[in-house]
Structure 1
Amino acid sequence: MEKNRLEALSDGVLAIIITIMVLEFRTPEEPTWSGLATVFPSLLSYLLSFVYIGIYWNNHHHMVKLAGKVTGGILWANLHLLFWLSLVPFMTRWMDESGFAAVPVLVYGINLLLAAIAYYILQERLVLAQGRDGALARAVGNNTKAKISPFIYVAGCALSLWIPALGLAAYAVVAALWLVPDRRLERAFARETERTGTD
């Protein structure tokens, strides 16, 4: 099965998610700097969520480019990931409208954790389809960031029940870890492109 449709669907859904998030913005009630300051927390929550969607889009792009065939299980694993990512605009708005109360910040973190788990499942399905000696498996290798990120999410969820700002800070730490695209995937993709002469 060709992977073009998987890529096209994923790109389309992620673009829609970003669009929905920006459409959820409240405009300032006053056309002044102080009016803009009142929506500044909304801008920060949008920025964090936008960065997360961008991270997933970037790494998903490189991962799928390295993948070989696509199976039905891979398609479902991809839809599983898109499901959790599609909830990000709702979670972002809920946090914002609640004034960053503990429960919405906690649930936002749980959503991010479940998206990370879904991404890992998709990655494993792609590796299994290609084989443990394939380009993707070699590129992923011993992924330290993927191993420590869930612990930071769980810590952030726990902290959010105490001080929500600390929970958000923990989620921002994970985003900072992943902000730079996975260089191993980029290098492996470059090697595969050179080897096959395709883009």
Structure 2
Amino acid sequence: METERFEALIDAILAIIITIIVLEIPLAANGSWQALIDIKYEFIIYAISFMTCFNFWNFNNEIFNIVNKVDAKVIWTMGLTLFVFSLLPYLTTFVAENFYDFFPQFLYGLIFIITAILLMVISKFLKESDPGNVALQVALENNKKPMSTMIIVIIGIIIGYFVYPPVIMVTCLLSMICIWIIPKIIG
């Protein structure tokens, strides 16, 4: 199967997810600075969720620019990944309303871990579906980015459980920053 329509579907779903996240941001109660400060947690988690969506879109854009064809395994695994990812708007609101509670933060971190695992599976399936594509094979030869995401977020979940739950959200953000930095450090 050609990739253009599949890429368009991914883009459309991500646009819908971002739109839902934006619509869930509460309005300030009035026009004061204090009213903005009162919704600081909602804005912080919104910003991280938005960056997460953009990061996911960027990954897909970079990969699918070099993919020539996909098969059913790629399509269904990406569909499952998008389903998991579509829980982000709900969890964004859940974390914003329960910022210091472990369980909402844990679920938010779990989305990162599950998405990283599914991206490793998709990478494997993409390489199998397009074995003659040397650029794709090289681009997907290792799983350092998703592995680093999983390790960082798991560390955050452990610290969040025992010490301070918002650390999980911070490690989710840190995992994205590492994804941008790792290629420059490793090669």
Question: What fraction of aligned residue pairs are identical, expressed as a percent?
Answer: 27
Please say if 1:164 is aligned against 2:165.
yes
Partner of 1:81: 81
Alignment map for 1:23-172 (pairs within 5 Å): 23-131=23-131, 134-162=134-162, 163-172=164-173
Deviations 1:15-55 (CA, angstroms, capped at 9, x unpaired): 00000001001111122011011111111101111111101
Deviations 1:98-141 (CA, angstroms, capped at 9, x unpaired): 13311100111011111111122112111111117621111233
Conserved? CA contact 2:156–2:168, under 8 Å:
yes
SS of 2:2 mapped into structure 1: coil
Conserved? CA contact 2:148–2:178, under 8 Å:
no
CA positional deviation for 1:156 = 1.4
CA positional deviation for 1:59 = 0.9
Conserved? CA contact 1:113–1:150, under 8 Å:
yes
Distance 1:25 1:11 in 2: 22
Deviations 1:145-178 (CA, angstroms, capped at 9, x unpaired): 3332211121112222221122222111101112
Which residue type is aligned with residue 78 of structure 2? N
Can you give the 5+ residue segments of structure 1 that lack an aligned partner in the other structure? 184-199
Bigger relative contact order (CA 8 A; separation at least 6): 1
Range moving further from structure 2, 59-68 or 139-148: 139-148
Conserved? CA contact 1:3–1:69, under 8 Å:
yes
Change (3 A) 1:116 1:15: same
Conserved? CA contact 1:63–1:123, under 8 Å:
no
Change (3 A) 1:5 1:179: same
SS of 1:66 mapped into structure 2: coil
Q: TM-score, normalised by structure 1?
A: 0.85
Q: TM-score, normalised by structure 2?
A: 0.90
